[in-house]
Amino acid sequence: MVTINVKYTLICLVLIALFVLLVILCILAKNLITTVKNLNKVVDDASVVSSVASDKATQVDGIIGDMTGAFSDLSKAMKGNESLVGALTNVGKAVASTVRYFKDSASDDEE
């Protein structure tokens, strides 16, 4: 006849449960490491994208400032407060700045 000691059986079951828990924790740690590596790649990409967007916003801000000044000068010239030639020169500079921006953007896209 086989007798089973309840205390010994419970200790064995707890040890088996601890071993299973240890294996699960190892698997979770491995998955967490992979996830953190992927997250670092995403954050690096987001950093690059935000820096490019910041650069473009700065360029566009300069162009908008040039255009505002040029059309302000043009409206003053039409009112008679400034020479029409100087105002048209400023508009030409603003348009040239805008064209240069789009050419730079096109060359950046090709790379």
pLDDT digits over 72-90, tens only? 776 776 666 556 667 677 7
Residue 73: inside a domain, yes or no?
yes
Tell me which residue of 66, 61, 63 sits closest to 89, measured CA to CA. Answer: 66
Q: Is residue 46 assigned to a domain?
A: yes
Does residue 67 have a pLDDT over 90? Answer: no
The answer to whether residue 63 sits within a structural domain is yes
Between 22 and 93, name the one with better pLDDT.
22
- The number of folded domains in the chain is 1
State the pLDDT confidence band at 27, using cuts at 50, 70 and 90.
very high
Instruction: Determine, yes or no, domain membership for 88.
Output: yes
How far is the CA of 44 from the CAs of 40, 50, 91, in angstroms?
6, 10, 40
**For residue 32, what are the domain limits?**
6-110
Residue 85 lies in a domain: yes
User: Is 71 among the domain residues?
Assistant: yes
Asked if the model's pLDDT at residue 38 lies above 90, the reply is yes
Is residue 1 a part of any domain in this protein?
Answer: no
pTM: 0.47
Tokens of 47: 């950093």
The whole-number average pLDDT for the span 54-81 is 74
